[in-house]
Amino acid sequence: MPLDGITVLEVGVFMAGPYATMQLADLGAEVLKVENPTGGDPVRQAGPFVDGTSSPFARLNRNKKSVALDLKSPDGRAAFRRLADRADVLVENLRPGAMRGLRLDYETLRQTNPRLIYASASGWGQDGPLATLPGLDIMAQARSGLMSITGEAGGGPAKVGVPVCDLVCGLYVALAVTAALRERDRSGEGQYIDVSLLESGVSLAVWEAGKYFATGEVGGPLGTAHQSQAPYQAVRCADGWLTVGAITPKTWLGLCEVLGLQALVDDERFNDAYRRKENVAELIPLIEDVTSMRTVTELVAALNRAEVPCAPISDYGEVFTADALTKRGFLWDSTDGVRQLGSPMRLSRTPTQRNAAGPALGADTRAALLAVGYTNEEIDELVGGQS
């Protein structure tokens, strides 16, 4: 495994931190998820439940181990520090200042483990005017501008359907950690990583930044349409919707031929993708006059033959049973029988780990503490004092 031998401590709840460490666990790191003995990660209480276990938790925390420690107690903090002294990485997504208040911050822990890579995920970053405010994904989507361009023009505010700021923040944390591990191979030193949901969301605004910094124009919601090229959006069919992206000369010609709209090829309004975007209000009705009379299946087949990019809009019932995923082995069953989403990272020699679903609360406390020098008697005393 790429991260064999790397030990990661996670003090994470909900999404960003746990999603980051899930990536590291998939790559072979040993992830010790440190949870409060009373209740643990709040996602454990999120339904639906299967045999009493949270279905979302079982997937978000796969390939991890659970260590139950009360970090508000001196003994729990002492145990955590002993784990941190032997860890390579610590990932936390508590509110800024919380770990410092527990004396478990980077500056404290690096005194006894200078090789520690310490990553903090938060809503707004560890400093700045918003740092002390609570920051959830929907707030980050709002402040980052993502909600201002999501949805239909003239409609109410809409967020991206998944917690995209949380998830992208988690991916950036995982990427930064792997980069810091590589740098540590050269320097022998750890470092501190600060990733925010806000900046993660803003980092996605590549097209919007290109427009604003070039022209001063502020983008708005476009539904499914592209910011600068056309046709690149969903179009209505007789039995549903189809997405199409005919923005190159070849694919635009192919689309016109499939739809019998060859006259549009020489129409000055639609000479190139930029002009087609300028005149998209005239273009799409012409396209939908044809597509609305044909089925999605029929059009997908015809456009695929013409090598025009297109796809139907699938719901998740279709996605989770799709041949495109099942035949590539993307979906898999953990050792305890929980169906899992695969990792998009496909490494030819060192494939990602596929072991157990999210662990039971505290299932690995004893093994983890024995590994850092606790005796069984000391563990019994610590665990008993936490219950």
Where in the sequence numbering do the catalytic residues fall? 166
Q: How big is the chain by its Cα radius of gyration, in Å?
A: 25
Query: Both tokens of residue 363?
Result: 């299932």
Distance of CA 312 to the CA centre of its chain: 23
Please tell me whether residue 205 adopts helix, strand or coil conformation. Answer: coil
Who contacts 189 (Cβ-Cβ below 8 Å, separation ≥6)? 114, 115
* Separation in Å, CA 250 to CA 107, 134, 188: 57, 49, 53
Contacts of 135 (CB under 8 A, 6+ apart): 122, 123, 124, 196, 197, 198
Which amino acid makes up residue 198? L
Taking phi over 0 as left and psi of -120 to 50 as alpha, with beta for the rest, 2 belongs to: alpha
Strands 240-245 and 310-312: antiparallel
DSSP H helical ranges for the chain:
16-26, 55-60, 74-86, 98-101, 106-109, 137-143, 164-187, 197-202, 206-215, 249-259, 273-278, 280-291, 296-305, 316-319, 323-326, 365-371, 376-386
Count CB atoms within 10 A of the CB of residue 176.
Answer: 18
User: How far apart are alpha carbons 34 and 309 in whole angstroms?
Assistant: 46
Identify the CA nearest to 123 among candidates 113, 110, 133, 109: 133
What value, to the nearest 5°, has the Cα angle with vertex 318 and ends 245 and 328? 80
